[in-house]
Structure 1
């Protein structure tokens, strides 16, 4: 191997060793052993919610360990690949070794981002709300495009999702939608997506074919856990029940099972219509409301510590442009990261934007 290859492999080894240290591989193995023991108990499913938490955590811990072990094995094999290729003078084998090394750099760099998620709630699952803003029908259509983008992103990663509520616009698209992403670190990962997204395109709803600019807002909150102590007084709630509707106002069931909760002190309104029973919808809506109140409390605490002020000033402002006309470009205004294929981005290929956002946030926090 030449010196450049050796230096690159040494750098990759240093980075992977750092990731393994942060992940605490011995502790991870012990956690898997303990969770496997709990998952094997005959009374596991007596408490369905606890059982789901145990089996979910076990699956993700096993996935994390499997990924780390696989990267370590492959990285250890690369020098052997080079030696065999050079001994045989096989240029195609050397090219294969180069390709594997490049692939490892991409995968290790992506995993390194996880080590930057060290906030108080970063390891939580996420609740995401998307709302159409300025731009009329195009904004509602854009909000639905973003909803599909995030659901596709989750699907690509094998993350479970639950859409709690979708408020459809009259002509096309959605007014708002709230969904959960069930994966460890989903909040820390997706929280950099919060803010105002801007779309520029030829409007499909304008019969004169004019260019239209529209906006949609993204909010991200951590899922509430029992230890958070988010108490809500029933006297502070207004509860409305209604019949769930689909696109164009079409009824999707025949009973008033959908539930809307208004938290009077904060003005926060949430709704849930995906469950069959009113009781289940109220429980889901309450979980969403608690998450939003937790996120509000989290931001207030950060402001009190003066650590949220500088980084937070960007969240409510425009943070990413999606330009479909007169050229094709998606650009993040905070990180300057850009992609020239909006179709792929809107189909859920947003990992590079997310990773750049996490690195940007970490750097911003270090500088403040």
Structure 2
């Protein structure tokens, strides 16, 4: 890498990072951090646990954001100097190290730039992801399981917490449906671009004749609500059903009626939860999911995009947004952004950041704002 090329790249990154810093408004963030720290220091903070969790959670998010930006600024400021010193000393290994650091810093700044595009009302929230197998029989159920694993692996790569609320297992293999939460700042804004129909093409491992099979799965992503969100669900509008948990588990599985299914009668929205041992805990978790889905419906109706935001797709031919082709060639391609990757195994192992970033940029270019 020539010196002028390296310097030009550092200059371009400096301009991008400066733009990001202006959009994020670090001074305003630091001011809010100071105010939140005062609230955290109040002796009566935990008298209101809901408010305390909101305050401490917001403080943690803001501090992490400021630390990330200031850390990147320091790395970028040091980079050109380190490269110049390495060249002066004729240290080829250090020159190579500087070039590798440039690539890492570039990727981090690019990801941070994408974060500034997440300006929807609920983009900062945790995400509730629901996956439902569609057309394709047992292969579709297996595909739903593959997608669940893909998103969980993606979350693990970033150090995000995943909590599985409900899993409905298919009879032969895979999943009929699953709902899980990804708990991280901007999880909803980030993952919301994954909503839609996903299509898999492969040689079916369930076909004795080894034929190629096409199968589909639908993904819905909604934000997790806070207690301050105004979603009122009267008790008389909810039907509560209890049943025994199913699938793999410990001694408490299939022994008590601990699983809970909630039906919102006016809209027909149905959610369930069986991850906890206690019926009361499952009901509370199910209510979180229900309110999140009702919020998505409310916002969708306000913007006249009900089917799109509910994830109410057919999960069949004609409406897929991403193809995963494992045979006769290897390719994952997003049909909206045209972004593609030949590393299908890597994608299915959770390497989907490039697809997500392309989706966020595409949504902004199309003028489509998130909920």
Question: TM over 0.5, yes or no?
Answer: yes
What are structure 2's unaligned runs of at least 5 residues? 314-318
Aligned residues: 362
User: 1:28-177 residue pairs with structure 2 within 5 A?
Assistant: 28-40=29-41, 44-177=45-178
Aligned match of 1:340: 342
Q: Structure 1 pair 182/50, CA: closer, same or farther in 2 (3 Å)?
A: farther
CA distance in 2, matches of 1:311, 1:5: 44
The RMSD of aligned alpha carbons is 2.6
Mapped contact 1:71–1:104 kept (Cα < 8 A): yes
What whole-Å deviation, never above 9, does each CA across 1:129-176 have from its counterpart, x for those lacking one? 100000111111110111111111111111122111111111111111
Q: Structure 1 pair 310/271, CA: closer, same or farther in 2 (3 Å)?
A: closer
Q: CA deviation at 1:266?
A: 1.2
What whole-Å deviation, never above 9, does each CA across 1:190-210 have from its counterpart, x for those lacking one? 000000001111111111111
Mapped contact 1:196–1:315 kept (Cα < 8 A): no
Q: CA deviation at 1:71?
A: 0.7
Q: CA deviation at 1:128?
A: 0.8
Q: Does 1:266 align with 2:267?
A: yes
Q: Structure 1 pair 114/144, CA: closer, same or farther in 2 (3 Å)?
A: same
Secondary structure (helix, strand or coil) at the match of 1:103 reads: helix
User: 1:322-341 residue pairs with structure 2 within 5 A?
Assistant: 322-341=324-343
Q: CA deviation at 1:281?
A: 1.3
CA distance in 1, matches of 2:14, 2:207: 55
**TM-score, scaled relative to structure 1:** 0.90
CA distance in 2, matches of 1:96, 1:251: 53
CA distance in 2, matches of 1:309, 1:255: 37
Q: CA deviation at 1:27?
A: 2.5
Mapped contact 1:168–1:247 kept (Cα < 8 A): no
CA distance in 1, matches of 2:166, 2:177: 8
CA distance in 1, matches of 2:94, 2:307: 50
Q: Does 1:321 align with 2:307?
A: no
Q: CA deviation at 1:227?
A: 3.3
User: 1:196-345 residue pairs with structure 2 within 5 A?
Assistant: 196-247=197-248, 252-303=253-304, 316=313, 317-345=319-347
Q: CA deviation at 1:45?
A: 4.8
CA distance in 1, matches of 2:150, 2:29: 32
Q: Name which of structure 1's ranges 356-365 and 91-100 shifts more when overlaid on structure 2.
A: 91-100
What are structure 1's unaligned runs of at least 5 residues? none
Secondary structure (helix, strand or coil) at the match of 1:200 reads: strand
CA distance in 2, matches of 1:246, 1:350: 29
